[in-house]
A and B are shown apart, each in its own frame.
Chain A
Amino acid sequence: MTDRLGGHALRLCALGSALATVGIVAVLISESWGFFAGLADAGPAGLAGFLRLLNGTLLVAIGAGVIALPLGLGCAVFLSEFASAGTQRIVRPMLEMMAGIPTVVYGFFAVFFVTPLVRAVLPGAGVFSAASASAVVAIMVLPMITSMSERSISNVNPALKEAALGLGATPTEASRRVVVPAARAGIMSSVVLAFGRAVGETMIVTLAAGTTPRFTLNPLESIQTLTAFTLGAGTGDPATGSRPYETVFAVGLVLCAMAVGITAIGRRLTSGGTGAPLTTPAGLHPLPDSAGSGG
């Protein structure tokens, strides 16, 4: 009796998550339906507004990736190949702590520390700049790139490295030319998933990059991202079914589709790649990998 009840309760829990997925997509579509229906009337003007936001999002996310990839990969190689066990015991918890910092605290750090720094180094930068946002978003995704890359580097068959050493390679030659290339798929996947997180990041980009939608490739200017636009939904308190309300949901739907698409690419990289699979015994790496993008 308890058994059957327990089974039903457990099934309900699991089905709840399936329901949540369907529900989220259904809500986003139904609430933004009016926007897409009205898009034909609005013409290119409505689309231009959206493209400005997309420009801002990509500028910040690509900038963050460019900064975070070399640092994260270097840190991962250091941890898995060169660091002593003692150093690892210090560095891993630090990375874990970094992953736990609320993004609004990073946003505060961006506004009062990184932005003045960026403006001192690059005099052309404004009070709000995509560069400042990119730098801090890079800091935010670093633990994720590092932990996932380290995991795939550690998973490379040690025989490969030993063979390289046996052929006379120095330790870093073995790492650089044998181990890291073998872990390529996992490293690429970590970067793609980190990019997805950067696309969904809200608080840092709103505080550091501002709310000025524009077409630009200049990281020293203020821009507005898709997420920053969505955040405005709360401050305006638009009435259900109104044009601003539907627009915000349309942007939310696009964000959702982008996040899922990028995650799908990131996963495919590891499942089809030549590198070692990312699956390790659970609990050894408590860092979130593609943990939902922060706000």
Chain B
Amino acid sequence: MTARVDQGFPASIRERNRSDRIVRRACAAAAVVALAPLVLVAVHALWLGAPHLTLDFFLNAPSSDPASAGIRPLLLGTVWMVALVGLVAVPLSVGSAVYLDAYFPQRRLARILGSNIGYLASVPSVVYGLVGLAVFARGAAMGHTLLAGAATLTLLVLPLLTRATREVVRAVPRAQVEAAYALGATPFQAIRFAVLPGSAGQIAAASLRALSRAAGETAPLVVLGAFTFIALNVTSPLDPLTALPVQVFEWTESTDARFRGLAGAAALVLLAGTLLLNAGATLVHGSSIGRR
């Protein structure tokens, strides 16, 4: 053992200090290289897209003519779906997280379901698109509507959000729940008054992150057959499926170079929206920690 260790170290302390500095710098350089893409992605999208960010761009519908193309129905489609996902996925995730970790935390069922959720979260999003196509669009005859899109995105976000919420609920000190029971609380009251108040901020943060994820998802909506390049009127969830990320995909894929700027502008709007939701999550999360 000693022989092996002795062999591995250079003889002089000066040499060792030099290699110490080299390793430090290499690690710092790796960190810089790893973080650089964040700035590059944002600056690149700004560079290509900013000239196209006019008021008309937000008010017009997509069209085959790049000069008058806009994103209004796409933006509305995404907002509708994100809202629907929030309405369904948040209560369901909180419900199952609370059931698994606060209600009967030791149950074997909880353990099995928990590992299940982990595997569900690892399934590629494009596969959720296939499931949505077979179950919601065709099986439930929702067709290519925003509702089918929202249902598919809900299915996709549920395991992610449930897992995140479970971590939050599990962090609530067990003694706090036991104290509530000792004061005569029923299980439901214990959850309502001992578990949820303290973790509400973090649950809200996890929810915002999940919604950001839903807003940026593209592959499942493409598989569902989302509409792009056409003028749609989006007023209800039963309107045709259309979403901003899918149009970013189509414009990027287009061989017509005139759409490049539009792709940049749409990517910029999508980036801003998702980052804002994430920033909101960090804000909420930060403040809830500050209050404790």
Instruction: Please report A residues at the B interface, Cβ cutoff 8 Å.
Output: 2-3, 6-7, 9-18, 20-21, 23-24, 27-28, 31, 70-75, 77-79, 81-83, 91, 93-98, 100-109, 111-113, 139, 142, 146, 170-173, 175-177, 193, 196-197, 199-203, 206-207, 227, 230-231, 233-235, 237, 240, 248-249, 252, 255-256, 259-260, 262-264, 267, 281-283, 286, 288, 290-295
**CB-based contact A249/B189 at 8 Å:** no
Shortest beta-carbon distance from B27 to chain A in Å: 4
**CB-based contact B116/A18 at 8 Å:** yes
**CB-based contact A293/B129 at 8 Å:** no
B contact residues around A31 at 8 Å (CB): 130, 134
B33 at the A interface (CB under 8 A): yes
Roughly how many angstroms separate A107 CA and B158 CA in the complex, as a whole number? Answer: 25
Roughly how many angstroms separate A31 CA and B131 CA in the complex, as a whole number? Answer: 9
Which 6 interchain pairs have the tightest Cβ spacing?
A: A295-B219, A74-B30, A102-B216, A200-B124, A13-B95, A282-B167
A contact residues around B222 at 8 Å (CB): 231, 234-235, 295
**CB-based contact A11/B127 at 8 Å:** no
The residue that B252 contacts in the complex, of A6, A108, A252, with Cβ under 8 A, is A108
**CB-based contact B223/A7 at 8 Å:** no
A295 in contact with B125 given A14-B96, A71-B30, A282-B168 (CB within 8 Å):
yes
The residue that B274 contacts in the complex, of A21, A75, A100, A291, with Cβ under 8 A, is A100
The interface stretch among B56-64, B176-184, B231-239, B263-271 is B263-271
Roughly how many angstroms separate A74 CA and B30 CA in the complex, as a whole number? Answer: 5
* Chain A proximity mask over B205-227: 1 for CB below 8 Å, otherwise 0: 11001001101111111111110
Q: What are 27 inter-chain pairs, A to B, with CB distance below 8 A? A: A10-B95, A14-B100, A14-B113, A17-B113, A20-B158, A28-B131, A71-B33, A78-B28, A78-B31, A94-B35, A96-B282, A100-B277, A102-B216, A104-B245, A105-B271, A107-B252, A108-B263, A108-B267, A172-B20, A207-B253, A259-B122, A260-B123, A283-B171, A288-B164, A291-B121, A292-B123, A295-B217
A contact residues around B270 at 8 Å (CB): 102, 104-105
Question: Which B residue sits closest to A294, measured CB to CB?
Answer: B125
The residue that A101 contacts in the complex, of B16, B260, B271, with Cβ under 8 A, is B271
6 further contact pairs, Cβ within 8 A, besides A17-B96, A17-B162, A293-B123:
A15-B113, A21-B116, A24-B128, A91-B31, A112-B48, A234-B224
A contact residues around B9 at 8 Å (CB): 173
Shortest beta-carbon distance from B54 to chain A in Å: 19
A24 in contact with B120 given A10-B95, A108-B248 (CB within 8 Å):
yes
B170 at the A interface (CB under 8 A): yes
**CB-based contact A113/B122 at 8 Å:** no
Roughly how many angstroms separate A202 CA and B45 CA in the complex, as a whole number? Answer: 20
| B: contact size bracket | 35 or more
A286 in contact with B35 given A17-B158, A200-B123, A260-B119 (CB within 8 Å):
no
A16 in contact with B126 given A82-B27, A173-B16, A249-B134 (CB within 8 Å):
no
Of the candidates B24, B37, B171, the one having the most CB atoms from chain A within 10 angstroms of its own CB is B37
Shortest beta-carbon distance from B81 to chain A in Å: 14
Instruction: Please report B residues at the A interface, Cβ cutoff 8 Å.
Output: 8-9, 16-17, 19-20, 23-24, 26-31, 33-35, 37-38, 40-41, 44-45, 48, 91-96, 98-100, 103, 109-110, 112-113, 116-131, 133-135, 138, 155-156, 158-160, 162, 164, 167-168, 170-171, 186-189, 191, 202, 205-206, 209, 212-213, 215-226, 245, 248-249, 252-253, 260, 263-264, 267, 270-271, 274-275, 277-278, 281-282, 285, 289
Of the candidates A72, A108, A235, the one having the most CB atoms from chain B within 10 angstroms of its own CB is A108
Question: Which A residue sits closest to B263, measured CB to CB?
Answer: A108
Shortest beta-carbon distance from B157 to chain A in Å: 9
Question: Which A residue sits closest to B39, measured CB to CB?
Answer: A94
**CB-based contact B131/A24 at 8 Å:** yes
Roughly how many angstroms separate A201 CA and B271 CA in the complex, as a whole number? Answer: 18
B contact residues around A23 at 8 Å (CB): 131, 135
**CB-based contact B167/A77 at 8 Å:** no
**CB-based contact B275/A27 at 8 Å:** no
A200 in contact with B126 given A14-B96, A102-B270, A295-B217 (CB within 8 Å):
yes
**CB-based contact A21/B119 at 8 Å:** yes
B contact residues around A234 at 8 Å (CB): 129, 133, 221-226
**CB-based contact A292/B124 at 8 Å:** yes
The residue that B37 contacts in the complex, of A139, A240, A256, with Cβ under 8 A, is A139
Roughly how many angstroms separate A15 CA and B116 CA in the complex, as a whole number? Answer: 11
The residue that B267 contacts in the complex, of A18, A28, A104, with Cβ under 8 A, is A104
Roughly how many angstroms separate A50 CA and B182 CA in the complex, as a whole number? Answer: 61
**CB-based contact A103/B29 at 8 Å:** no
Roughly how many angstroms separate A259 CA and B123 CA in the complex, as a whole number? Answer: 6
**CB-based contact B37/A98 at 8 Å:** yes
A contact residues around B202 at 8 Å (CB): 282-283
B contact residues around A262 at 8 Å (CB): 122
B contact residues around A71 at 8 Å (CB): 30, 33-34
Roughly how many angstroms separate A196 CA and B277 CA in the complex, as a whole number? Answer: 26
The residue that A113 contacts in the complex, of B40, B133, B188, with Cβ under 8 A, is B40
Shortest beta-carbon distance from B139 to chain A in Å: 8
The residue that B124 contacts in the complex, of A9, A72, A248, A295, with Cβ under 8 A, is A295
